[in-house]
């Protein structure tokens, strides 16, 4: 089960503009409105329930929820990962720690820090197949900037911010919060940062404490990895779809194990490779169709099909409707 920390849901419920109260939203996903701080540490909420909460927490024409959320987020909300973030020596080092250890916090998202000529792109990898997922991506990048501003004590301003999904009706809150150009229908969800941004020093850099925290995070990541093999396979298949490297032997090699071992370990989780691969292809197809930037032939190619007709047959089996009809419904 892919999940997000309960702390994220609690913050979303606090800034909701929807018709339901904070307590109603929390109870709907099994969180007690009055849980003690210790009990909250291990709360998690399933990914789809998170997207559902985001959709219910935004009243019509409310485009500012991600930025209200980011305004409430604190580094200490993220436990050991938050401590590693604020004791890093620079913004670059903090972001690299986020890339390396985000799995400890949530297995619904991956980050990359890509070097470019004038700095770096901090890329968020997560589908945008429904409104809640698009809101989640806006929340994530807004929170990332908020955390960087906290650990540096500066008004950290990116060169630009980009999102893969379509532009909402209003972007004034996006531009006001980030303080830079915000692009939509882009190839990536990312914070585009200058070299100056990346070299900015943090206020609480601590090499000794960092060493201890990173060792702790390594142990936490190893434990979490063992519990989330299906999620790793799902992500590996998704990443490999465009180049055709998504069959079982290739994915097993990518994950550093034999095909037989992969089969056995997935069975321990009650999963099969074929079921995960099918879900990954379906979710990738739905995300691409909802985004609207790719033609149906391109979506077929990007999801690993030999031609558009094979893709259409598979998609109808998955969803009961054609890709074209699904796209039309997603755009309304």
- At which of 184, 210, 236 does a domain end? 210
Do both 180 and 291 map to the same domain? no
Domain for residue 216, yes or no? no
pLDDT in tens, 275-311: 999 999 999 898 888 877 788 999 988 888 888 999 9
Do both 176 and 311 map to the same domain? no
pLDDT in tens, 100-117: 999 888 888 889 999 998
- At which of 161, 180, 210 does a domain end? 210
The DSSP secondary-structure symbol of 29 reads: T
Do both 50 and 123 map to the same domain? yes
pTM (global) more than 0.95: no
Query: What pLDDT band is residue 120 in, cutting at 50, 70 and 90?
Result: very high
Measure the CA–CA gap between 286 and 94, rounded to whole angstroms: 33
Cβ density class 83-118: b for 16+ within 10 Å, e for less: bbbbbbebbbbbbbbbebbbbbbbbbbbbebeeeee
Residue 243 has pLDDT above 90, yes or no: no
Do both 126 and 250 map to the same domain? no
Domain for residue 223, yes or no? no
Domain for residue 215, yes or no? no
The candidate with the shortest Cα–Cα distance to 272, out of 320, 230, 311, is: 230
Computed from CA positions of residues 136, 140, 141, 145, in that sequence, does the dihedral angle turn out positive or negative? positive
Measure the CA–CA gap between 150 and 223, rounded to whole angstroms: 29
pLDDT at residue number 88: 97
- Element (DSSP H or E) covering residue 125: strand 119-125
- At which of 175, 210, 245 does a domain end? 210
Give Cα 100 to chain centroid, integer Å. 14
Do both 188 and 294 map to the same domain? no
Residue 17 has pLDDT above 90, yes or no: yes
Do both 283 and 236 map to the same domain? yes
Look up tokens 């089969």; give the residue: 263
For 178-200, what is the mean pLDDT?
97
Residue 173 has pLDDT above 70, yes or no: yes
Do both 240 and 141 map to the same domain? no
Do both 205 and 235 map to the same domain? no
- CATH code of the domain in which 316 resides: 1.10.10.60
- CATH code of the domain in which 17 resides: 3.90.1520
Q: Provide the domain count of the chain.
A: 2
pLDDT in tens, 246-268: 788 888 887 767 888 889 888 88
Do both 101 and 246 map to the same domain? no
Do both 281 and 189 map to the same domain? no
Percent of the chain having pLDDT more than 70?
Answer: 98
Provide the domain limits for residue 33: 3-210
Do both 18 and 155 map to the same domain? yes
């Amino acid at each position: 089960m892919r999940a997000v920390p309960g702390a994220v849901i609690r913050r979303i419920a606090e800034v909701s503009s929807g018709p339901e109260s904070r307590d109603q939203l929390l109870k709907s996903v099994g969180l007690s409105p009055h849980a003690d701080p210790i009990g909250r540490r291990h709360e998690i909420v399933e990914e789809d329930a998170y997207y559902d909460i985001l959709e219910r927490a935004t009243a019509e024409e409310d485009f500012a929820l991600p930025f209200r959320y980011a305004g409430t987020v604190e580094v200490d909300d993220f436990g050991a990962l938050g401590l590693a973030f604020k004791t890093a020596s620079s913004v670059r080092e903090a972001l690299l720690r986020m890339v390396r250890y985000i799995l400890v916090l949530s297995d619904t998202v991956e980050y990359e820090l890509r070097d470019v000529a004038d700095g770096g792109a901090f890329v968020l990898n997560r589908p945008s197949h429904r409104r809640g997922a698009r809101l989640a991506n806006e929340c994530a990048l807004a929170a990332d900037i908020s955390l960087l501003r906290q650990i540096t004590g500066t008004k950290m301003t990116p060169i630009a911010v980009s999102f893969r999904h379509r532009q909402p009706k209003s972007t004034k809150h996006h531009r006001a919060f980030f303080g830079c150009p915000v692009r939509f229908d882009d190839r990536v969800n990312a914070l585009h940062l200058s070299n100056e941004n990346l070299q900015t020093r943090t206020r609480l850099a601590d090499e000794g404490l960092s060493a201890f925290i990173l060792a702790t995070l390594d142990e936490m990541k190893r434990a979490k990895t063992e519990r989330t093999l299906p999620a790793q396979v799902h992500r590996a298949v998704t990443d490999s779809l465009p180049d055709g490297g998504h069959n079982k032997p290739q994915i097993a090699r990518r994950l550093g194990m034999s095909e037989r071992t992969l089969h056995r370990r997935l069975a321990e989780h009650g999963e099969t490779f074929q079921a995960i691969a099918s879900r990954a292809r379906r979710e990738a197809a739905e995300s691409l169709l909802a985004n609207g930037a790719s033609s149906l032939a391109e979506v077929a190619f990007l999801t690993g099909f030999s031609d558009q007709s094979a893709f259409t047959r598979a998609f109808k089996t998955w969803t009961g409707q054609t890709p074209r009809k699904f796209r039309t419904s997603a755009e309304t």
